[in-house]
Structure 1
Amino acid sequence: MPAIPASFFGIAVGLLAMGNAWRVATPLWHLPRDIEHAVTWSGIAVWFALLALYAWKWLHRGDEARAEMNHPVQSSFAALGPVASMLAAMALLPWSRPVALAVFAVAVTAQLVLGLWLYGRVWQGGRQPETVTPAIYLPAVAQNFVAGTAAASFGWPHLGMLFFGAGLFSWLAIESLILGRAALQPPMPEAQRPVLGIQLAPAVVGGVTYLSLNGGVPDLFAQILLGYGLYQALLLLRLLPWIARQPFAPSYWAFSFGVAALPTLAMRLLAAGAGGPLEWIAPASFAAANLIVGLLVLKTLGLLLRGRLLPAATPSR
């Protein structure tokens, strides 16, 4: 049985984030609630299956799991496990608060421990420039932003503010590091370029967190975050031919979190009374997100059916 990479949790993150977008879009535009439920429960099913497979990896391929956790780039993707779990907790909340709360408690504890361990290694130095990729956002930025949103959804906004602060200032510090590597070092290898999709996420995921904490007020800062997210989306569109030299692989799911969070932020601003360009940005970005995530699903299923999704199993000795 092949051992899944930790980066596969990005599939669950993308599906669960898309389910969150549908939870906002359904009442806003009176869309069928069955679609929202189908997307959400698909994400929960994928998340649960990946948790089981990843636990199997640690039990039966412990050497591979530890090697991945010691890798300067691959280890950052382990943070997607707690991120997916916190998104799952929010998705489960309307159905069962005790179950959702249990998932959140475990996930938020794991994200704090894992984030401090992984981000602490950056502060210890010795990292080579080629290992600085947008994946470095995941332990300190993605985990804290999602923890802030989840805490607010459980009715603890003051706890969420603490996580939001940790994520916000980590994002501002790390982005300059990533831009410096991109501008001053050789181009990223083709196999790594899809990871640039993560670059879209901090502004819009942080914007969703901010709205969850400020009572949903579409104030200046919330719209500033959306504006920067839109600029990052246009930048990635400009870079897409360069990124797409890498044939489709599961790494393209790096785009999905930001792609789903951007319309979520725009729709929440629109629902709260913001107007102007949001009246067309919200529906256009929501339609684009469904198209992109749907394409990722189809491409991933195609790899699975051809037996090319998972890495080849290492023969047991």
Structure 2
Amino acid sequence: MRKIPLNLFGTAFGTAGLGGTWLTAAAQGYAPTAVGIVLLAVAAVLWAVVLGCYGTYAIRQNALVKDLVDPIGGPFAALALITPMLIAGQTLPRPAATVIVDVFATLIVLHGSWFTGQLIYAGMDFDQLHPGYFLPSAAGGFVAAASAATVGQHEFGVLLLGFGIISWLILGSLILGRLVFRPPLPDPLIPTIAIEVAPAAVASLAYFTLFGDRVDTVAALLGGYGLLMVLAQLRLLPRYARLRFAPSFWAFTFAWAGVATAALHWLGWERPVGQGLWTCLVLAAITTLVAAIAVRTVLGLLRGTLLPRAVLPVDTVRPTVGSVG
């Protein structure tokens, strides 16, 4: 039986992020709405398929608890809770969307809080820290905030925004310190460094959704930090280019889809000369990235090289980078 890593939920999250980028461009009059809706529908199918596959694997291998407390792969469980909010808030009628957003926002708050408590209770090796730790509380809080605002729950959205911001401030310095001062991440975790661009971008999207599409002081501050993280990625391109493809590459998709969507909001506010051209370039770049990773994923599935074989019996050895694909 093949191991189903929790980061495989990134396929649905990245596709949903791309759908959101297309819908943002559509709202500005530069793309057909149907493309975004189709991408979000595909994301919903992917989420359901991965959930079914992971559920089957977890039951047969008795792996759920082990995966949740795994210091390497555990943070990626948040992807299963974040994605439905992102899809429902942008596609479903208000009553149904509100129910789904409220349920999964509550779950992500509980999961993020439990995960934080687990870190305090169980302790961890500092070298096991990686940017995926942004997902349970920071990214989860920001997506939940934007989703709550989308269904008309402004105060709940502000609460969730605070949940995400404080988590980001605390984790950001820890994660960056680990990346700078400790040994390099192992190859399977290198793609998670792309997640460094996500918090500022997703926080910006939550802020725009809650308080309107205007670039004020807060939005500019978020944009400035986001710009730093985006440009810092250029130095990492040679390292990324040497990596062997794995499911962890989907970290590039949901991180950069957030950046692309935030960029479109900025373009919509600033309205520079050639806005339509800039919008098309952003859409082309992020769509090409996601499509390329999707093609490599399908090829890996067909060749049987995408997922590792599950190890039997499930033991209690110290978790390693084998927790992610």
CA distance in 1, matches of 2:118, 2:285: 37
Query: Over residues 132-187 of structure 1, what are the superposed CA-to-partner deviations in whole Å (9 max), with x where a residue is unaligned?
Result: 11011111101111110110011011110011011112111211111211222112
Question: Is 1:258 the equivalent of 2:255?
Answer: yes
8 Å CA contact 1:226–1:262 kept in 2: the answer is no
8 Å CA contact 1:263–1:282 kept in 2: the answer is no
Where in structure 2 are the equivalents of 1:283-302 lying within 5 Å?
Answer: 283-302=280-299
Structure 1 gaps, min length 5: none
Structure 2 gaps, min length 5: 315-325
Q: What SS does structure 2 have at the residue aligned with 1:150?
A: helix
Q: CA deviation at 1:312?
A: 2.1
Q: CA deviation at 1:30?
A: 3.5
CA RMSD of aligned residues (A): 2.2
**Closer/same/farther in 2, CA of residues 235 and 285 from structure 1, 3 Å limit:** farther
Out of 291-300 and 261-270, give the one that drifted further. Answer: 261-270
Q: What SS does structure 2 have at the residue aligned with 1:124?
A: helix
Question: Is 1:238 the equivalent of 2:235?
Answer: yes
Counterpart code for 1:85: P
Structure with more contact order per residue of length (Cα contacts < 8 Å, sep ≥ 6): 2
**Closer/same/farther in 2, CA of residues 52 and 294 from structure 1, 3 Å limit:** same
Q: How many residue pairs end up in the alignment?
A: 313
CA distance in 1, matches of 2:296, 2:173: 33
Where in structure 2 are the equivalents of 1:1-317 lying within 5 Å?
Answer: 1-62=1-62, 64-93=63-92, 96-124=93-121, 126-271=123-268, 273-276=269-272, 279=275, 282-313=279-310
**Closer/same/farther in 2, CA of residues 87 and 302 from structure 1, 3 Å limit:** same
Out of 130-139 and 47-56, give the one that drifted further. Answer: 47-56
8 Å CA contact 1:226–1:266 kept in 2: the answer is no
**Closer/same/farther in 2, CA of residues 27 and 6 from structure 1, 3 Å limit:** same
CA distance in 2, matches of 1:293, 1:196: 17
Counterpart code for 1:4: I
Identity %, equivalent residues: 34
Q: CA deviation at 1:315?
A: 7.0
**Closer/same/farther in 2, CA of residues 266 and 244 from structure 1, 3 Å limit:** same
8 Å CA contact 1:92–1:99 kept in 2: the answer is no
**Closer/same/farther in 2, CA of residues 106 and 58 from structure 1, 3 Å limit:** farther
Counterpart code for 1:202: P
8 Å CA contact 1:3–1:53 kept in 2: the answer is no
Counterpart code for 1:43: A
